[in-house]
Amino acid sequence: MFSRNSFAIIYGLQTQAAQKMLDFDYLCEREASVLAFINAGKQKINHKLFYGDTEILIPSYPNIISLPEQIKQKTDTLVNFASFRSAAQATNEALESKIFKNVIIIAEGIPERQTIEIIEKNKQYGVNIIGPATVGAMSAGEFRVGNTGGSLDNIVSSKLYQKGSIGLVSKSGGMSNEMRRIIADRTNGTSISIALGGDKYNIMTFTDVMKNFEADDEVKMIVMLGEIGGREENKIADMITAGEIKKPVVAWCIGTIGDTLKGDVQFGHAGAKSNANEETANYKNNKLKKAGAHVPESFIDFGDKIEEAYHQVNPGFPKEEGARGGSYNISEKIKIMNNRKSTQFTSTISDERGAELTYNKRPISEYAQKGSFADVIGNLWLKKDLPEYALDFINTTLILLADHGPAVSGATNAIITARAGNDLKSSLIAGLTTIGPKFGGAIDGAANYFSQAVHDKITPEKFVESMREAEINIPGIGHKVKSKFNPDKRCEILLNLSKKFPQAQHLQFALEVEKLTLEKKSNLILNVDGMVAAMFLDIFQDIGMDYEEIKEYIDIGIFNAFFILARTTGFIGHIIDQKRSKEGLYRTPWEDIMYD
């Protein structure tokens, strides 16, 4: 069911549970087992956690379907921390994704009807579903699910960081921790332990777990802690009698005091209530004993009975038999984890600490050898190696947008500031501050509207109509000088480049919009801002970004960033040109001002 190659997705932003799993991983010297969180409806974001004393980033995603393919292929377990209101929905989402072999449902109080529906639905998927109302499961020395196992001190004292040979199954999560400690004191520890959960209906049952333990070569002996209520433990007795379970079973059902109480008594769990004699703890204990299980006289004697059965299975073997080898020092690892400190900054794009500076984990010598500044942009801005057609497009865009003469507002501001005697940096900043919705900033606006329209499958006609009704000028459409009869050469160059694109869904949409706007006025062309926006959208889509990820980049302002980067070159050129020409302070002539 679980192994050192098990990896989990946590449904719900349960960072404390994830940290406990990662601490266990560190103790066991295995790879970090938590791959991602599902934070329903929220945008992707990274969360800082520790592996030992090293900080790592664990991403969260809005839903299961949005998980990257490499995570989907690696994971096998979903730890479902969704509330009782949404746990069933999250479980159904997990089943339908066909990603997971194991699903653990933590929430208690899920409506019984929904649990029954999950049981029925899972018949077509065959997923191991533990819960509801479980704390999880533990494969000692290999994989921890959620908060099970308790504190680090309890993990160590119960020897859960190493592989034992006892299979433990219980309904109670709290009692599972107690039993692990008892087993560790009397044997070489647990191999795997599972808490089924305290709700009336368990999706994984005692029968399912016992069959799993019987087939598991690493499990030499089975310990079962049952309880009052239900008849599952009676089925285990029947399986022992029928020879379906051949391994030694030490069993006890708690709640024997129930027979001394008048009337039906509801114990702690929803399922801990006997509705017939066959559901009482005493009946089940007697039946298990008759079937051949090792059954103590009371819970007080449970540990002795476990030790007695263990030495029958392993005569002469020390308790440490079965522990995973290794030279690691547990106390030293605990000390390291207790003294870790969070960093103040996070950098995921570059690292100067090694022998050679890296951009997105690639040495700069590789970029220098390739000789493409667009490749650097792709890795520093998008953290991706872009295809050649995209690199050509970025390089071309930077060339075409580098300058548009001294008359545009940004260049004029930079020129006036430089002529006032300010330094290059101050003059450049003055030029850059003019970039906004009416100058250069239209790329972000065009990207936002085009992306949303294509995602929502809005027709160009409906799009134009809705923008007109909202009295919003379409970003990326229209030009002061260029028109249908005086086309922009830059747009012609970009349009020719688009022939190399694998798909151009957003560009085609923008061109259809242009056809409609040109019917109104000849200068309502798809301008260079709109064309750059549409073509970048197509690139982003082609390299695997979904709508939400693209929208995040739009909100960040990355589309405008390409214009800012390109136009910085032109602004600097104008500043140098003015200073080289020794131009003096500029004053606007009176005749250019209307005084009222």
Question: For the chain, what percentages of helix, strand and coil (3-state, to nearest 5) are there?
Answer: 45, 15, 40
| Alpha-carbon distance values, 538 to 450, 460, 498 (Å) | 11, 17, 10
Catalytic residue among 269, 294, 479, 574: 269
In DSSP notation, 191-214 reads EEEEE--SSSS-SS-HHHHHHHHH
Residue type for position 340? R
Q: Are 488 and 482 in contact (CB under 8 A)?
A: yes
E-strand stretches of 182-306: 190-195, 221-227, 249-254
CA angle, corner 273, sides to 132 and 279, nearest 5?
Answer: 105
Among this protein's residues, is 479 annotated catalytic?
no
Q: Are 412 and 406 in contact (CB under 8 A)?
A: yes
Taking the alpha carbons of 111, 113, 116, 122 in that order, is the dihedral positive or negative?
negative
Distance CA 431, CA 416 (A): 9
CB atoms within 10 A of CB 443: 31
Q: Residue 378: which residues within 8 A CB-CB, separation 6 or more?
A: 384, 385, 386, 390, 391, 394
Distance CA 585, CA 577 (A): 14
Q: Are 68 and 35 in contact (CB under 8 A)?
A: no
Q: Are 79 and 91 in contact (CB under 8 A)?
A: no
Which residue reads 């199954």 in tokens? 169
Active site residues: 269
